[in-house]
Structure 1
Amino acid sequence: MGADVGRIDLNDHSQGGSFASRSADNEEDESQLSIHPRHWLKAIEAFDLPRLTYNVDKKYFETLKSKPTLFPPPSHKTALFRDRYNLVYQRLLRNESFQSSLGIAGVPSLQRSSSNLATGQSYKLTPIANLLGRSGTSHLLLGLLTTSPTGDLSLVDLTGTVSLDLSHARMIPEDGAWFAPGMIVLVDGIYEEEEMIKGSVLGGNTGVGGSIGGHFVGVSICGPPCERRDISLGTGNRQGSGELSSSGGFGWVDFLGIGSERAQGARMRRIQEKCLQGEREQESQTETSAPPRLKVAVMSEVNLDNMRTLDALRKVFSSYNDLALHERPQTFVLIGNFVQTAVINGGGRAGSIEYKEYFDSLAVVLSDFPALLQHSTFVFVPGDNDPWAAAFSGGAASTIPRHPIPELFTSRIKRAFATANAELDRSHQNSTPAPPGEAFWTSNPARLSWFGPVHDIAIFRDDISSRLRRTAINTKTDEDEPEPDTTMHEALENDTVTTEPESVPAAANKPDTTSPAATMARRLVKTVLDQGTLAPFPLTMRPVLWDHASAIQLYPLPTALILADAEASPFCMTYEGCHVMNPGRLLPEGAVPTVRWIEYDVLRNRGKVREDRY
């Protein structure tokens, strides 16, 4: 789909006058379009995203033509990891540190005093198969970190496998990210041959299953550098007129199935400006000078089987219901688990009848705020304890992406929205009425698209931090060992994880960026975005549907990522232009009844942790 869109638009450019006339028609059509922002909000399920794969030969993305199935052939499992590797590999080669043309004088990025790139040096990856016969030499490897059947660490790429020794390796940066089996990592070290490799009955250079003899002694290990969204799309060099540059990138690829950046980006930005202009005109009539904002209220771990949760939700909804219409969030995102224990699995306290009653109770609370139901969009994202996946997983990690909550349990909430919209008197509305309020039950993960590809918000519910802490590898280093050469890694880390000053709870006077919670949040954000996937684990630990693996990829980076992790403290951080938010638990632990959520400003791409008592 993405490739087809690109070809169509490229042909339009070659048609000269016909393209100009089509542009004029588009401008006329835009004048007839709705100027209400919620008209341009779309919730996209993971199963509706285009199934894209990176073609190494063409260096472009292609749409898979085969029909997805839950029982694909084993070759699709191999393709899952091969596509991940190819995606990270091409992203790495696009990094300036791996381009041989960096020796050209006058390039501003070469003036970094902390890097030896000023000498024109570039870095080169070595395929694992090319290590044969080169014992005692230093190399830089890119591969998948795995655990061999003997329990030892190995590194795998498309050419082979080598045993890995990280007993003397240093993590770069120190305590900056997690490294666990299932991740693609860069390892700098020395290859040493042996006559007999451990775990293999064959001597010499070649072992069983494509593994080579000997082992690779790692000196340092780091994750592949992340790539900003504008660089991936080729829109980084935006001119003063707002036109897109024509340099590289995948701007013609339709990653979400709603139009590519180059095909729809400029048009959607014009529509967004018209919508904001309409909001300004309405605000001027109400004598308010605040700039228009598109707000999203995000709540996670909404356990409906806890009666305190309904009181907390009532407090949140009441605080927004008392605000003016333009100050309310236009979207409410409610993320599971909606029950504390897995349902319909024989061992939980709740069955299908009890689970429906929980949502019926939520419908009663929502019915008390008809103004919110009439003017807002509610999005529900399930967790691992929600049906029907919990019926088979028993609350353990279920297969992702997973389907939304069945309609069997949500009928009462839909009725509440229908009743509120029927009571709304639209006779006093202007010529372009606002769309009615509605509720979406979407998959996990899911995407929210606002104004097409302009605002891409990814949502994922998973306790990923605890899984990373359990499986992360630890390296042993001595205090008297010499420091490894970190020049390359400094060159790769051009951006840092930034904690926004407004991301801490209101009760705190100043943001503490050195606290253990902030340190862990930075590690979590860097690990996930550098890996470019929502599930950097083996399939045995986090099962993934092979034919829908592209839905969990984070390439290009979304404009914002809601990483709902109940085991981590709430935070709002920006890394490589992607704003990552974790709402934490709706009801934090403590004696004082407190409700906590995140308020996200779409236009400013900034979130803020909100906290209140109920």
Structure 2
Amino acid sequence: MMSIQSPEKSPRKKQPKSPEKGAKRAKPPPPPFFAARPKVTAPPSSDIPSSSPAFATPAHPLRPFQAPAPAKAAVLPIILPPPTLRPLAFRTFTKKHSLTLTSSALQELATFIGRHCGSGWKEEGLAEKVLEEVARTWKNRNGGVIVDGASSELKDILKTLEGNMSGGKIINGPRGLSRQNSLLLEQTEDADLSKTRLGLRPSSSLTPDDNQASFGMSGIGLDEEPDDAALQDARRWLKVINAFDQPRYTYNVGKKHFEKINSPPSLLPPAARKTEVFRHRYNVIHQRLLRNEAFQTSAMTSARVRTTTSSAMQSHKITPIANLLGRHGTTHMLLGMLIVLPTGNLAISDLTGAIALDLSQAVSIPEDSAWFTPGMIVLVDGVYEEEEESVGMGLSGNAGVGGTIGGRFQGFFIGQPPCEKRRATLGVSGLEGGADHTIGGGFGWIDFLGVGSERACGSRMRRIEQRLLRQPALADPDKPSRGRVVIVGELNLDQPRTLQALKKILSLYATDPEGSTPMTFVLTGNFTTHAVMARGGSGGSIEYKEFFDALASTLADFPMLLTTATFVFVPGDNDGWVSAFAGGASVPLPRKPVPDLFTSRIRRVFAAANAEAGLSAAEGTGGEAVWTSNPGRISVFGPNHEIVLFRDDISARLRRSSVRLKSKSAPADAAAAEDVSMSGANPAPSSPPAAASEAMDIDPSPQQPPPQQQQQEQLSHDILAARKLVKTVLDQGYLAPFRPAIKPVHWDYAPALHLYPLPTALVLVDTTAPPFAVTYEGCHVMNPGSVLVPGRRGVARWVEYTVGVGKNGRVRECIF
């Protein structure tokens, strides 16, 4: 009886043999009907020879020769217990890659290896290669320190790995996962950045240290000297990030790191997401405080003597509100959110409970340095006073942990939680902008914006920035910098003089030498003075579109700027579509861009200018118009520079809803001499008022005529108001620190409003605040105000910010 061969040996019979090799074999040549098998179009499963010639498949005489696809080597699956795999997994994940495996992840890996590696998982070293590839891919995908089997990331990695395995081994072919391929950047880039080589295979110039440093993000894939001419332009390293496309992270208190939110966001989420917004804000500020020296207990810290008026630095301790029960008359420091109770009284709330707050005797530290409104997370130092009827019980009514605690908290001092510098958050040390940066602690391996983490590509991006921006600026200081960002404030297109002012501003930059024009122009709303689409018979959407058509006609007069710069448009409250139902009132944040229906002509103007110059925005060689959300972000050189764009009249809202505090009794001269320091919670004497004055082009010389002295005093008051606004926003680390009734927020998109880590620059367009350019804790905050200066006819105002060289912005004015 003729025996049937097994499937494992069948591929060897299907390979065509030459006559010379066939003569050497001991077995006779195959029969004629088997020699014609390569022309069969049946699936590979039917390639097994039949036991009878009657079942042979005839070959089509006209079909060309077609070699069969090689079959994958079969592996006999086994049941691999997780405890058997644990030693090898511990050695690969924990010892080598500093990752922690959960029991569910170990079960998933054991099932996968037993199914696809079979009995050779240990003797042939198949399991070790699989574990190594999974660990490396997990780190490149920014999965976190703990590998969880229930996460979709691990399942997606195993699913991808399953399609690239044959015979228990990982294929190193085109579809395989080699060491370089596992470092690919797995994100979708827009057309403008398609030529920046983001996501390409890392070049051979990558050192082992740089390769290991790509934890949290894949290799940036850039040569030390990019050969593409388009990459020699600083604008090619610019990316505009929409708030609705920004990665969402939440802080895990147990694991002490940020975890990526994989659930899809929604504009109508469940009510539980509202409490998650507060919980995330509180946890981020709480862990930030614990990293501050003032909240760390140390003998060195307590013995350190400060050079300011305070004698020694004291170590503070935060008390949860629930721990106040039964501690009548004791002094504590609370960290919580200011809220308004249903009775109308002020209270403070944290994750454990809430308590009524009495701020009648409280003063701010430093005095008059920040705003305090319900919705902010603040530090309050005072005494807990328990009610007489609740003494011995500790509770009032049906309140308990998680509710309102009986009694009240008498606050004597209130202050903002001090913010943290960007370099400290990302773990970057060394000179600012130098090449000797090192990676330390912090969250440098977290990719907060989806452009690469600090640990993955920060040092390489700094070297490219040094070559493209810093070296040309040092070689020719008189030449305008290519890294300039021109920020035009509120642009009311329904006012004819606005377009005249914009035309004058653009004409000043159109005369710059070739290659030295600004790389970005930022135009912010409100693009109409009133909510046009909500005013009924005023023209509605047709009139709204005509305003942008007029703007397109103005931009068409500057083809050089249209082909060499990126124009970013940020909407306001009066822009579509939200103004159609809000009527110009406060609308939820973040806000979507202006619809393409109204901006089509502006896009055609850019396309025509690029076509006339022989350029293409899709190929990264021409200019483009980007309509982003509010707030939006601009990333320059990956994680090197982050510029936040935000349009909101936050200053007026702070004045309307702020809590009135008691002021210290001091002479008028002393109060006038005091200055708000911009160095954090503790003022430093090394920050004179002239520092901010120089940034705003104000001459603080006292030898001036009396009228100019009065004007200087008024300008100094504006600077103090600007510093007060900047300190409030950056200390909160949140762009909407108000009650939901005052400033609503889309709960699922609230992570886009966080200012953590602190950005390198914040464009805060506020028409109710004076124009300024102030630096606080390394973050440069700018407010151009409105492009038309109120009370001054024929004067246009804007802000010019230089990236990389000095990192300074200045308020500029011109007459049109």
Q: Which bin holds the TM-score, normalised by the shorter protein?
A: 0.7 to 0.9
1:369-384 → structure 2 map (5 Å cutoff):
369-384=558-573
Residue 634 of structure 2 corresponds to residue 437 of structure 1 = no
* Cα shift readout 1:17-74 (whole Å, capped 9, x = no counterpart): 9974696995647533411111101110011111100000111000111110111111
Query: In the TM superposition, what is the alpha-carbon distance from 1:421 to its structure 2 partner?
Result: 1.0
Q: 1:459 aligns with which of 626, 641, 645?
A: 645
Q: 1:586 aligns with which of 787, 794, 813?
A: 787
Query: In the TM superposition, what is the alpha-carbon distance from 1:346 to its structure 2 partner?
Result: 3.7
Aligned to 2:254: 57
Aligned to 1:415: 604
Q: Is the 8 A contact 1:115 1:490 kept in 2?
A: no
Residue 794 of structure 2 corresponds to residue 605 of structure 1 = no
Aligned to 1:406: 595
Residue 433 of structure 2 corresponds to residue 232 of structure 1 = no
Aligned to 2:120: none
Which of 244-253 and 166-175 deviates more?
A: 244-253
In 2, Cα distance between equivalents of 1:18 and 1:271: 14
- 1:179–1:8 Cα change, 3 Å: closer
Aligned to 2:298: 101
Aligned to 1:114: 309
Residue 347 of structure 2 corresponds to residue 161 of structure 1 = no
* Cα shift readout 1:488-543 (whole Å, capped 9, x = no counterpart): x9994256697534433689989769632112111100000000000000111111
In 2, Cα distance between equivalents of 1:459 and 1:157: 30
Aligned to 1:172: 365
Residue 376 of structure 2 corresponds to residue 183 of structure 1 = yes
Query: In the TM superposition, what is the alpha-carbon distance from 1:245 to its structure 2 partner?
Result: 3.2
> How many residues in Structure 1 have an aligned counterpart in Structure 2?
588
TM-score (norm 2): 0.67
Aligned to 1:251: 444
- 1:3–1:595 Cα change, 3 Å: farther
- 1:3–1:146 Cα change, 3 Å: farther
Query: In the TM superposition, what is the alpha-carbon distance from 1:376 to its structure 2 partner?
Result: 1.1
Q: Is the 8 A contact 1:2 1:253 kept in 2?
A: no
Q: Is the 8 A contact 1:502 1:609 kept in 2?
A: no
In 1, Cα distance between equivalents of 2:736 and 2:293: 27
Which of 437-446 and 509-518 deviates more?
A: 509-518
Query: In the TM superposition, what is the alpha-carbon distance from 1:338 to its structure 2 partner?
Result: 0.2
SS in structure 1 at match of 2:342: coil
Letter in 1 for 2:565: S
Q: Is the 8 A contact 1:125 1:142 kept in 2?
A: yes
Which of 313-322 and 511-520 deviates more?
A: 511-520
Q: Is the 8 A contact 1:237 1:244 kept in 2?
A: yes
- 1:22–1:124 Cα change, 3 Å: closer
In 2, Cα distance between equivalents of 1:205 and 1:70: 35
Residue 221 of structure 2 corresponds to residue 32 of structure 1 = no
- 1:521–1:503 Cα change, 3 Å: same
Residue 489 of structure 2 corresponds to residue 296 of structure 1 = no
Aligned to 2:695: 503
Residue 319 of structure 2 corresponds to residue 148 of structure 1 = no
Q: Is the 8 A contact 2:430 2:436 kept in 1?
A: no
In 2, Cα distance between equivalents of 1:191 and 1:6: 44
Aligned to 2:550: 361
Aligned to 1:430: none
Query: In the TM superposition, what is the alpha-carbon distance from 1:75 to its structure 2 partner?
Result: 0.7
Aligned to 2:514: 325
In 2, Cα distance between equivalents of 1:348 and 1:531: 42
* Cα shift readout 1:544-591 (whole Å, capped 9, x = no counterpart): 100010000000100000000011111000000000000001101125
- 1:244–1:185 Cα change, 3 Å: same
Query: In the TM superposition, what is the alpha-carbon distance from 1:375 to its structure 2 partner?
Result: 1.0
Q: Is the 8 A contact 2:346 2:356 kept in 1?
A: yes
Q: 1:528 aligns with which of 721, 724, 729?
A: 729
In 2, Cα distance between equivalents of 1:238 and 1:9: 29
Letter in 1 for 2:362: A
Letter in 2 for 1:338: F
Which of 549-558 and 247-256 deviates more?
A: 247-256
SS in structure 2 at match of 1:399: coil
In 2, Cα distance between equivalents of 1:370 and 1:139: 63
In 1, Cα distance between equivalents of 2:803 and 2:526: 25
Query: In the TM superposition, what is the alpha-carbon distance from 1:330 to its structure 2 partner?
Result: 1.4
Q: Is the 8 A contact 2:322 2:401 kept in 1?
A: no
Aligned to 1:336: 525
In 2, Cα distance between equivalents of 1:93 and 1:209: 23
Q: Is the 8 A contact 1:68 1:548 kept in 2?
A: yes
Q: Is the 8 A contact 2:366 2:681 kept in 1?
A: no
- 1:478–1:236 Cα change, 3 Å: closer
Residue 763 of structure 2 corresponds to residue 570 of structure 1 = no
Query: In the TM superposition, what is the alpha-carbon distance from 1:476 to its structure 2 partner?
Result: 3.5
Which of 562-571 and 324-333 deviates more?
A: 324-333
SS in structure 2 at match of 1:48: coil
Larger Cα-atom Rg:
2
- 1:311–1:104 Cα change, 3 Å: closer
SS in structure 2 at match of 1:46: coil
1:535-554 → structure 2 map (5 Å cutoff):
535-554=736-755
- 1:50–1:148 Cα change, 3 Å: same
In 1, Cα distance between equivalents of 2:432 and 2:640: 17
Q: Is the 8 A contact 2:480 2:516 kept in 1?
A: no
Letter in 2 for 1:585: S
Q: Is the 8 A contact 1:233 1:556 kept in 2?
A: yes
Structure 1: gaps of 5 or more residues: 428-432, 481-488
Structure 2: gaps of 5 or more residues: 1-136, 148-178, 184-203, 212-218, 667-677, 703-711
Identity percentage of aligned residues: 51
Residue 284 of structure 2 corresponds to residue 87 of structure 1 = yes
In 1, Cα distance between equivalents of 2:692 and 2:679: 23
- 1:426–1:86 Cα change, 3 Å: closer
In 2, Cα distance between equivalents of 1:442 and 1:163: 42
In 2, Cα distance between equivalents of 1:254 and 1:374: 31
Query: In the TM superposition, what is the alpha-carbon distance from 1:277 to its structure 2 partner?
Result: 7.3
Q: Is the 8 A contact 1:397 1:542 kept in 2?
A: yes
Letter in 2 for 1:78: T
In 2, Cα distance between equivalents of 1:2 and 1:470: 48
- 1:504–1:467 Cα change, 3 Å: same
* Cα shift readout 1:190-224 (whole Å, capped 9, x = no counterpart): 00000358xxxx84794696111100000110000
SS in structure 1 at match of 2:532: coil
In 2, Cα distance between equivalents of 1:126 and 1:171: 19
Q: CA RMSD in A?
A: 3.4
Larger relative contact order, structure 1 or 2 (CA cutoff 8 Å, min sep 6): 1
Q: Is the 8 A contact 1:42 1:450 kept in 2?
A: yes
- 1:533–1:383 Cα change, 3 Å: same
In 2, Cα distance between equivalents of 1:21 and 1:262: 13
Query: In the TM superposition, what is the alpha-carbon distance from 1:599 to its structure 2 partner?
Result: 0.7
Query: In the TM superposition, what is the alpha-carbon distance from 1:165 to its structure 2 partner?
Result: 0.3
Query: In the TM superposition, what is the alpha-carbon distance from 1:140 to its structure 2 partner?
Result: 0.6
Which of 37-46 and 21-30 deviates more?
A: 21-30
Letter in 2 for 1:122: S
Letter in 2 for 1:258: V
In 1, Cα distance between equivalents of 2:423 and 2:307: 22
- 1:477–1:516 Cα change, 3 Å: closer
Aligned to 1:263: 456
Q: Is the 8 A contact 2:481 2:518 kept in 1?
A: no
In 2, Cα distance between equivalents of 1:355 and 1:86: 43
Letter in 1 for 2:267: L
SS in structure 2 at match of 1:181: coil
In 1, Cα distance between equivalents of 2:792 and 2:471: 46
Q: Is the 8 A contact 1:532 1:553 kept in 2?
A: yes
In 2, Cα distance between equivalents of 1:580 and 1:445: 14
